[in-house]
Amino acid sequence: MKTYTIDEITQIVGGMLTKVNDVKISKIAPPLLADENTLALALAEEEITNLPKSRAKAALVPLGVNIDWLTTIEVERPRLAMMKLLNVFYTAPEVNRGIHPSAVIHESARIGENVKIGPNVVIGRGTIVGDNTQIVANSYLGSGVKTGKNCFFHPGVNIGDRVILGDNIILHHGVSLGADGFSFVTEKPDNIEQAKKEGSVKEENLEQKIFKIPSIGSLVIGNNVEIGANSAIDRGTIENTVIGDDTKIDDLVMIGHNCKVGKGCLIVSQVGIAGSCVIGDRVVLAGQAGIADHIEIGSDSIIAAKSGVSKSFPEKSIVIGTPAMPRKDFVKQVKTIKDAGELIAKFKQYEPLLKEFEENK
């Protein structure tokens, strides 16, 4: 286990050191779990108050927190400093050197330099794997796939035909890229079409046939994208589904066919984006938000958790609720409901007087 001096740690995080004693650091932990060789991460008020109970001799603290009996490193952005430390102490999943003998690689595939391919990986016809890419066990890359350099695919990743990935892509366990979109058509107008047009379902289509619409487009993912475990992004019907550079996608996210997601977006767990949506740059979609099909969300917008988005919103929108509405309208609505509750309480208080008045008229 590698150890670092407190001065080396300070240099890594770019903080301001107040040294009470020299400390050798071999790990990081919250104050209550820290020992003498641990840097205690006291990033918030609760953790700072736990420092007197800690065995740690050094702590990472927010700027302005100075404790005279403890060696401290003060930083302006504690979570950013924590990220730098985690990268130092992080141990990546183990991948065998070179290509494992159980891997199945088509003779026409092109494998870059310093690529590591684990057990039972399948790589299809004409696929290109970029330099320094690592593919862990039981992953599948279809025909005509192209991956950039320095990618890391965790176990069980499945990538469909002709999907294109940029550099520095991280795909976590069970990611599915480039499956067919959920696209179907019926011989006659179906219940959904009737409901949209007429506002009701008038006919019973007992013999209705549903035909699959094939997806001949694919999926293009930019550079520096990370996709969480068991997330799925479908290929386009005719044109490609696109995910922009630097976008980060959490676990259990579904992005439908033909979607265009911009750069630097944060898409949190259990978000569902229906087909043909356009999401701008730097958009935040919080957990369990649902976006209906053919919706446009402008850049720099924030969609709150569990929002049900059924219409488009311009850039820099902050929306919440189901159906989703601008935050200021939502707050006004909540206030109205609260005021209505108070009015009802007052009415009940004076209701006997009202009844007495009506009886004596």
In CATH, 4-89 is 3.40.1390.10: yes
Percent of the chain with pLDDT over 90: 77
Q: Which of 161, 279, 303, 166 is nearest to 224 (CA)?
A: 166
Q: Within 10 A of 139 (CB to CB), how many other CB atoms are there?
A: 24
**Is residue 343 over pLDDT 70?**
yes
**Structure tokens, 292:** 């209906």
Residues 222-252 have pLDDT tens digits of 999 999 999 999 999 999 999 999 999 999 9
Cα(167)–Cα(178) distance, integer angstroms: 18
Cα(259)–Cα(278) distance, integer angstroms: 6
Q: Which of 337, 338, 312, 335 is nearest to 323 (CA)?
A: 312
**Is residue 298 over pLDDT 80?**
yes
**Domain 104-320: top CATH class:** mainly beta
The one-letter amino acid code at 304 reads A
DSSP H stretches of helix in 133-271 = 191-198
Q: Which of 283, 305, 85, 129 is nearest to 295 (CA)?
A: 283
Residues 307-328 have pLDDT tens digits of 999 999 999 999 999 899 888 8
pLDDT at 196: 76
* Predicted structure pTM score: 0.85
Least confident of 79-88, 262-271, 345-354: 345-354
**Is residue 160 over pLDDT 90?**
yes
**Structure tokens, 67:** 């404790």
pLDDT at 215: 94
- Residues with a catalytic annotation lie at 257
**Residue 344: band (very low, low, confident or very high) from pLDDT cuts 50, 70, 90:** confident
Residues 81-128 have pLDDT tens digits of 999 999 999 888 888 889 999 999 999 999 999 999 999 999 999 999
Residues 63-79 have pLDDT tens digits of 999 898 999 999 999 99
CA atoms within 13 A on the CB side of 299: 7
Residues 126-140 have pLDDT tens digits of 999 999 999 999 999
Residue with tokens 């911009």: 262
**Residue 142: band (very low, low, confident or very high) from pLDDT cuts 50, 70, 90:** very high
pLDDT at 162: 97
pLDDT at 355: 76
**Residue 187: band (very low, low, confident or very high) from pLDDT cuts 50, 70, 90:** confident
Cα(2)–Cα(20) distance, integer angstroms: 22
- Reduced to 3 states (helix: H, G, I; strand: E, B; else coil), residue 55 is coil
pLDDT at 61: 95
Average pLDDT over residues 189-218: 80
CB-neighbour burial class of residue 247 (10 A; exposed 0-12, middle 13-18, buried 19+) = buried
Residue with tokens 């919706």: 295
**Is residue 189 over pLDDT 80?**
no
Residue with tokens 């990268």: 87
Q: Which of 163, 158, 160 is nearest to 230 (CA)?
A: 158
Residues 2-38 have pLDDT tens digits of 899 999 999 999 999 999 988 999 999 999 999 999 9
**Is residue 361 over pLDDT 70?**
no
Average pLDDT over residues 210-217: 92
**Is residue 206 over pLDDT 70?**
no
User: What does pLDDT average to over the chain?
Assistant: 92
**Is residue 153 over pLDDT 80?**
yes
pLDDT at 359: 73
H/E element, 349: helix 327-359
| Those residues with Cβ within 8 angstroms of residue 181's Cβ, 6 or more apart along the chain or in another chain | 213, 215, 234, 235, 236, 237, 256, 257, 258, 275
Q: Which of 265, 190, 284 is nearest to 221 (CA)?
A: 265
pLDDT at 208: 79
**Structure tokens, 359:** 């009886």
Three-state secondary structure of 232-243: EEECCCCCCEEE
| Those residues with Cβ within 8 angstroms of residue 116's Cβ, 6 or more apart along the chain or in another chain | 95, 96, 97, 98, 99, 133, 134, 135
Cβ(218)–Cβ(178) below 8 Å: yes
